């Protein structure tokens, strides 16, 4: 198969779809790989590094899309990239379609086969291609929140871990999954006073066993959530409904009741955000104020640490990329456990139920679409 890797063009997005080491695996399997010049510079991988592993380096994204059958990316294709998609293309990347009607429309009209990292599952029903970026984003959420709490950045001027004789910051994590657990680990490591809210008692039990008495676990009733948010210095939104838009758990009215200079970090922003006052921001302009509360809502947080993120992502995606290239998409999707739910758009049909329901498309199951 001919595999193409364009350079990412989202604001301050330095990750890349394939590392040179992943290219080596593909070329060893007999596949051709086309990499746009400069695609790997953000992770310290030169064009020569890709060429040494058997890739052909092309000058432009247009050439990569023209030559390739499968496009492997990191972020959802931007408008200019979607115009280059053809019915014979296979696209494998993060899509996050539920809150993005324009992208969904373009992918449907392209006729391409579009597989989303974030809805692929493993044999245990977990999200193996979302997990590595959730780990990175969870850890970054605390770094970003700690920075935003500084007075010069609009925050209330609180040091996350405090100092002897001065209380630490009060950190609230909403959601105890992969993002939440990594945010908790970082916040506790910095000495913050941390509580997590979740509605899954099993999750709370696991987190309590992992972190001990230093972590306060709270069942996420509406009253408990509102009380926690009002008192928080930093709130991390770490909720996920796979494939669907994130639920709005913190209302605009509740934001008004927070202390001036408090910080909200919305890690769910790729799926529309879990705070009512959230809208996507960029690494260039990451924060804004609503009712004197700092909002950090960068839609590609892991792009801030592209080398770590790209290698972590490739560790997870490479087996699926190889399956697609070796077997073709139909056999790969049907034979690889948990891969089929990754099929979001298939030749003009929407195959992800939550996306279809959110955006008003007829839903066609992945099984029926492939038949």
Q: What is the pLDDT of residues 231-274, one digit of tens each?
A: 999 999 999 887 788 899 999 999 999 999 999 999 999 999 99
Would you state the pLDDT for residue 40? 98
Over residues 144-156, the mean pLDDT reads 98
- Say whether pLDDT at 313 is over 90: yes
Over residues 327-354, the mean pLDDT reads 97
Would you state the pLDDT for residue 156? 97
Per-residue pLDDT tens for 59-71?
999 999 999 999 9
Q: Rounded to whole angstroms, how far apart are CA atoms 25 and 19? A: 10
- Say whether pLDDT at 219 is over 90: yes
Over residues 197-217, the mean pLDDT reads 97
pTM: 0.90
Would you state the pLDDT for residue 240? 84
Kindly indicate the confidence band of residue 317, based on its pLDDT and cuts at 50, 70 and 90. very high
Instruction: Please confirm, yes or no, whether 89 is among the known catalytic residues.
Output: no
Catalytic residue among 31, 96, 182, 295: 96
Mean pLDDT of all residues belonging to the chain: 97
Would you state the pLDDT for residue 186? 98
- Say whether pLDDT at 96 is over 80: yes
Would you state the pLDDT for residue 242? 77
Would you state the pLDDT for residue 210? 98
Q: Where does 67-223 show beta strands of DSSP type E?
A: 70-72, 90-93, 113-116, 170-174, 193-198, 215-219
| Contacts by 206-215, CB closer than 8 A, 24 or more apart | 206/176, 207/176, 207/180, 207/181, 210/181, 211/184, 211/185, 214/188, 215/184, 215/188
Q: Where does the chain show beta strands of DSSP type E?
A: 2-5, 32-36, 56-58, 70-72, 90-93, 113-116, 170-174, 193-198, 215-219, 234-237, 263-266, 287-290, 293-296, 343-346, 349-350
- Say whether pLDDT at 309 is over 90: yes
Catalytic residue among 106, 198, 266, 270: 270
Would you state the pLDDT for residue 124? 85
Would you state the pLDDT for residue 182? 98
Over residues 51-79, the mean pLDDT reads 98
Closest by CA position to 231, among listed 285, 188, 170, 282? 170
Instruction: Please confirm, yes or no, whether 182 is among the known catalytic residues.
Output: no
């Amino acid at each position: 198969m001919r595999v193409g890797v364009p350079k990412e063009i989202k604001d301050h997005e330095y990750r890349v779809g394939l590392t040179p080491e992943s290219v080596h695996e593909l070329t060893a399997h007999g596949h051709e790989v086309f990499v746009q010049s400069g695609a790997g510079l953000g992770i310290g991988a030169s064009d020569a590094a890709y060429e040494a592993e058997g890739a052909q380096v092309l000058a432009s994204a247009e050439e990569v899309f023209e030559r390739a059958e499968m496009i492997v990316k990191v972020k959802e294709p931007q408008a200019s990239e979607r115009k280059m998609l053809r019915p014979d293309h296979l696209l494998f990347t993060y899509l996050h379609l539920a809150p993005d009607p324009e992208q969904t429309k373009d992918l449907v009209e392209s006729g391409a086969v579009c597989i989303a990292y974030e809805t692929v599952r493993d044999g245990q029903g977990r999200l193996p291609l979302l997990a590595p970026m959730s780990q990175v984003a969870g850890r970054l959420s605390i770094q970003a929140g700690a920075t935003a709490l500084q007075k010069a950045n609009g925050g209330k001027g609180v040091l996350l871990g405090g100092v002897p004789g001065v209380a630490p910051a009060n950190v609230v994590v909403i959601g105890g999954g992969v993002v939440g657990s990594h945010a908790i680990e970082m916040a506790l490591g910095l000495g913050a006073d941390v509580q997590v809210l979740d509605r899954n008692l099993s999750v709370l039990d696991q987190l309590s066993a992992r972190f001990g008495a230093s972590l306060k676990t709270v069942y996420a009733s509406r009253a408990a959530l509102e009380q926690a948010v009002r008192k928080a210095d930093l709130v991390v939104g770490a909720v996920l409904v796979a494939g669907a838009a994130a639920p709005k758990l913190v209302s605009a009215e509740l934001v008004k009741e927070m202390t001036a200079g408090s910080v909200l970090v919305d890690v769910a922003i790729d799926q529309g955000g879990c705070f009512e006052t959230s809208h996507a921001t960029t690494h260039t302009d990451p924060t804004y104020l609503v009712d004197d509360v700092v909002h950090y809502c960068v839609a590609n947080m892991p792009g801030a640490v592209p080398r770590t993120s790209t290698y972590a992502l490739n560790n997870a995606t490479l087996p699926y990329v190889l399956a697609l290239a070796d077997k073709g998409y139909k056999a790969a999707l049907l034979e690889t456990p948990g891969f089929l739910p990754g099929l979001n758009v298939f030749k003009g049909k929407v195959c992800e139920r939550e996306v279809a329901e959110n955006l008003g498309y007829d839903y066609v199951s992945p099984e029926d679409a492939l038949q």
